[in-house]
Every structure is written in structure tokens, then in C-alpha cells.
Structure 1
Amino acid sequence: MLRPLIILFFIIANPFPGISQQLDFTVTINSERARTQDQDIFEQMKTAFEQFLNNRNWTDDEFKPEERIKGNLLITINDMPSVGLFSATVQIQTVRPVYGSNYESLMLNFADRNWTFEYVDSQPLEFNQYSFLNNITSLLAYYAYIALGLDYDSFAPRGGDPFYETANNIVANAQQSSRPGWNQNPSDKRNRYWLSNDLYNSQVLVPVRDAYYLYHRKGLDLLTSRPEEAYNNILEAIKFVEEANSTQPNSILTITFIDAKSDEICKILKNAPQEIKQEAVSALLKVDPNNARKYNDILKG
């Protein structure tokens, strides 16, 4: 439980801590498709969204500046049907530092393809986790809590529970708006509802959450100091993902894990013992057969 220990040490060392935010996000807005001459609105939007994410306390836990969770939010404006109304897609990425190195591991790489919202110049961004106020702050807060949950899951077994609970509540509140992405749509299994449901409500997919801890805290963080133990834990994490996928194939949570980790796994395992490679490749091919060539390359060293 490295994250809680770091936080405890910080509080003891500094009994009167100042305001400590938890996120360090960069927002990029691609407005090439927007039908407007007023490009200043997108600069204002970028600043407002970054301030909302980075200047707010999402948990009572204290973070040092270097502990803040880094992320990128790429918003592509697909259409602007009327003044102040936007249709967009969002790509969200977050990273986690690896202990004892300057390497940052990709934690989340998720595409949200269906976001509509209203925004006007100097609009205040208000949020209440207990009610739906608007589709901007609900989406931004939702991904803030998902990012925190995954980060905490990687430092302690199922440490992200309280954050996923809040994200799940945001989904429930937003469903009254009838906006796309928040509902249990069987034809769209890659939306906010299903990601939150898989993380918070699905017992079948708990092994994927356990894999985040094994892979990061017991794997990547030990790779330099105890490589044999680290490789075995990384293999075990991959097997956990395979186990969940065999019970519930192609869940959004399994896909999200693989989307973030597949390239990294291939690089790391090329230096692993041959037996570890073989078992890992066998499991990966069952979970993600479309990338068979990439995984088979692991065996070549």
C-alpha cells in the first residue's frame, strides 16, 4: 500500500498541509471540424477544463506535487450543430510512475466516442456528485474518479473501491439526462456505463482489478530489484485477465487493460525467462488473438 504510506508520511512531516490536488492533466482540443470562426472559445474551454480537473480536491488524501496523477485528455470536436452546442469524442490517457525508475506506465487509454455538451464563454463549471448539473462536469469528474481508482488499485488490492463507487453514482445521476454514453445500451458496450459497471459491480471481472495490483506493485515496481519475482507476478496478472475473459469474453474492462498494456508487456517480457514467455503468450493469444503476431514476437527475444 505504497500510496497510503506516502500520504501518511507527508501528513506527519507537514502537519499543516496546504491545498493538495491529485490530478495533473493536459487538455488538448482539436477544433478543425467545428463550424465557427470563434476559435477563442476553444482556448477558453481548454483552460476551464484543465482548471476543473487540476484545481479540485477529488479525495481527502494528500498528494505531493510529484505524486499527482498525470493524464492527457484529447477532445475532438466532431460537430457544432448550433452556437454553444458541441458533439465530440474524447481520448483519455493516464500514467503511473514505476518505483525506482523514471519510467511511466500507461494505465488508461480509453476512447469515449459519444459526448455532447453545451459551453459558452466564461461558463462556470459546477459539479455535485449527488446530482446531475451538466454534461461537462459529469464527464470530467467521471474520468477523474476512474483515473484515481485505477491508480489506487495499482498500489493496493482493490484500493480504488471508493472512487469507482463515486463514478458509478455519477453514471446513475447522469442517466436522467438521456445523454448518450451513460446508459445500459446493449449495442454500445464501450461507453461510460459499462466501464463503471465492470469496475464497480461485476464480480466476474474482479480478477482484472487484481491484475492491476499484481502487474504494477508486485511486477513493474520490483522489476529492477527482484526480477524473477516480478516476472512471475506479471505472468500471474496476465493469467488473471485471461481468467476473467474466459468467463466474460471481450468485456470493456479486459479490453481497456489490454489496450493500455499490450505494447508494454511485449517489451518487458522479451527479457523474461523462456518459460514465462511461453505461458504469457499462450494466455495473451486467448485474450487478444487479433494481435497474435505481436505476442509471438515475444518468443523471439
Structure 2
Amino acid sequence: MKKAVFSIIFICLAFFAKAQELNFTVIINSDRARIQNTTVFSTMKTSFEQFLNGRSWTTDEFRPEERIQGNLLITINDVPQVGIYNATVQVQVVRPVYGTNYETLIFNFADRNWNFDYIESQPLEFNRFNFLNNISSLLGYYAHIALGMDYDTFEKEGGQQFFEIANDIVNNAQQSGRPGWVQSPTDRRNRYWLINDIYSSPVYAPIREANYLYHRQGLDILLTEPEKAYENMLEAVRLVAEANKAQPNGILTITFMDAKGDEISKVFKGASLEIRTELVELLLEVDPNNARKYNELLKS
């Protein structure tokens, strides 16, 4: 009997020693759907969260407090027939800043065109090399984007292995003919172009380096080495500006600024006037629509 108890304890300890990597919250807004049976969305939420959070996506060990935090905000725009949904998705990923209680937004992306078939209680499986359905592929894709973005902030190009898998998912999903997976000249803010710019385009390689400089060599040391941190974070913005000059208004540039724009306008208030002056010049090139917000930095 004692052996059985110890065996159960050992199995439980082994389970908790290798926690899953993701801790995503799925939020479903069905106000536009105009259907009477809204309980399906509760089931959908549970199913999607279990898919993202209930499996191991890597061979690395994560303690519970190290799990990557994120939100998947799904807006159901239309239900053309029972079991078929048209939706938009907002994906957000955050990361803790070393030595603080602060969490920084590292990825913020709006996926505007997702349609999928969902039947309650249907199992959701994932296969990197096969398109099984448009739910598993999309969720698996953003799971690996989240992992890649997080790892990139801790090590230069540390997320490459996860971006490779996301690229495989896109290649396999193209056979489905579903929107968002193809090289559309009229829709450059979709899943295809996002992973293309992250994984395959040398033009945007500086932005991946910027993610590392800004977070690991910037925010993580801001309390202990502020001058060095501000220099590194400024260099990160220089790299983003470099990529934007080579290819203006690229999806990865926009995604970086969507995640970091508000934070930059607040964090740099403690920097020297010299750094703030150059920073604002760069920001006005990359993100001129938010000129008023950035110009406030010169008044601090």
C-alpha cells in the first residue's frame, strides 16, 4: 500500500516538474453572432484553452511561474450556419521583466480573417506536418509564434526552432484554401506574411535582434544599469527603423510598434535628453501616426 502511495506521489511530482509552457486565457466575444444557444462558446473557450495550455510544446522544463502568459481574444463576427464561424483574433503575449513585478507586452497581433468549423466535444489534435483542421492549425501556429517571440527576448534568435514549426504549419495549411494562410497581395497582415517576415525575410532580421536588445539587454537591467539599458533600448529602436527604411510599413515593424509604442513613450522618460531626442526622431520615422505621444518625451 505504501509503495502504491509513493508511486502516485512520484508520478505527481514528475508531472509538476515538467509543467506546460503556455498559460493563455481565451476570451470569446459572441455579441455579434446573434444566436440563441451561447453555451457553445463556453465549451469552445475551455476546449481552446486546454489545447494551448494542456500539452507540452517543447522539450524544455518550465516551472509553473515560468509559463508564458498570453491572451487570445476571439470576436465571432458571423455564424453563417450551425457549426461554422467567422471570426477575428487578437493575440497578445507578455513576459516578466527581471527583478520586478512588471510584465511587458512582447507581441500584439490582429488576425482579421479566421473561419472554422466547430462541433462541441470534438477532440483537437495537433500535427506539425499535417493540416487536420483550421482550429488546430491556427492555435498551434500562435502557440509557436508565442514561444518564438518569448525565446527571442532571452537569446538572440532564440526562437528560431519555433518559427520553423510555425512556417511548416503555414505551408501545410495552404492546401485548405482557407483565408489567412496564403500569399495574398491584397492582405499583407495575415499568418503567411507574419511568419514569412519573421522566419524567411533577411530585411526584418534586425527586428528580431531588437527584441533581444530591448528586453534582455534593456528592460531586464534598467533598474541596475539604467544608462546601459537605455543605450541598448535605443539601439533596438534604431534596428527597427533600419528595417522600416528597407521595407516601409512591414507587418513585423507594425507588430513591434503595436506591442512597444505605449511602453517606450513611458519608459524613456527617465533617459537623458540626448537619448530621448534621437529616440523621438526614429519613432517619428517608424510610427508617425503617434507623433503627439512621442513628442511628449521631449517635454519631460
TM-score range, shorter chain: over 0.9
- Measure the CA separation in 2 of the matches of 1:109 and 1:163: 18
| Letter of the structure 1 residue corresponding to residue 84 of structure 2 | L
Gaps of 5+ in 1: 1-13
Give the whole-Å Cα distance in 1 for the aligned partners of 2:125 and 2:18. 19
Aligned counterpart, 2:39: 40
* 3-state SS of paired residue (2:203): coil
C-alpha change, 1:131 and 1:216, in structure 2 (3 Å) is same
Letter in 2 for 1:98: V
For structure 2, which runs of at least 5 residues remain unmatched after alignment?
A: 1-12
Match of 1:81 in 2: 80
Work out the CA distance in 1 between the residues paired with 2:75 and 2:59. Answer: 32
Mapped to 2, the partners of 1:198 and 1:164 lie a distance apart of 11
Q: Secondary structure at the match of 1:204?
A: helix
Contact 2:153/2:216, CA 8 A, preserved across alignment: yes
TM-score, with length taken from structure 1: 0.94
> How far 1:36 sits from its partner (Å)?
2.1
CA distances 1:80-105 after superposition (whole Å, capped 9, x unpaired): 00000000000111100000000000
1:270 counterpart SS class? helix
- Alignment deviations for residues 253-301 of structure 1 (CA, whole Å, 9 cap, x no partner): 0000000000000001111001100111111111011111111111111
Which residue type is aligned with residue 50 of structure 1? E
Aligned equivalents of 1:15, 1:88: Cα separation in 2: 39
Matched, 1:190 2:207: no
**Counterpart of 1:231 in structure 2: which amino acid?**
Y
- 1:15 deviates by 8.9
Return the alpha-carbon distance in structure 2 between the equivalents of residues 15 and 187 of structure 1. Answer: 49
| TM-score, scaled to structure 2 | 0.94
Counterpart residue identity of residue 159, structure 2: G
1:52 and 2:51 aligned: yes
Q: Distance in 2 between matches of 1:15 and 1:195?
A: 37
Distance 1:57 1:187 in 2: 36
Letter in 1 for 2:149: L
SS at match of 2:35: coil
The aligned residue for residue 11 of structure 1 is none
Could you tell me the percent identity over the aligned residues? 65
Which of these two proteins has the greater Rg computed from alpha carbons?
A: 2
Alignment partner, residue 271 of structure 2: 272
Cα distance in 1, alignment partners of residues 149 and 15 from structure 2: 28
Listed one character per residue, the Cα deviations across residues 65-86 of structure 1 (whole Å, up to 9, x for unaligned) are 0000000111010000000000
- Once the 2 structures are TM-superposed, how far is the Cα of residue 19 of structure 1 from its aligned partner? 3.7
Corresponding residue for residue 225 of structure 2: 226
Give the aligned residue type for 2:60: D
Separation of aligned partners in 2, 1:112 and 1:78: 13
Q: Which residue of 1 aligns with 2:154?
A: 155
CA distance in 2, matches of 1:16, 1:105: 29
Aligned equivalent of 2:8: none
3-state DSSP of counterpart to 2:115 = strand
The 1-side partners of 2:294 and 2:15 are apart by 50
CA distance in 1, matches of 2:34, 2:15: 50
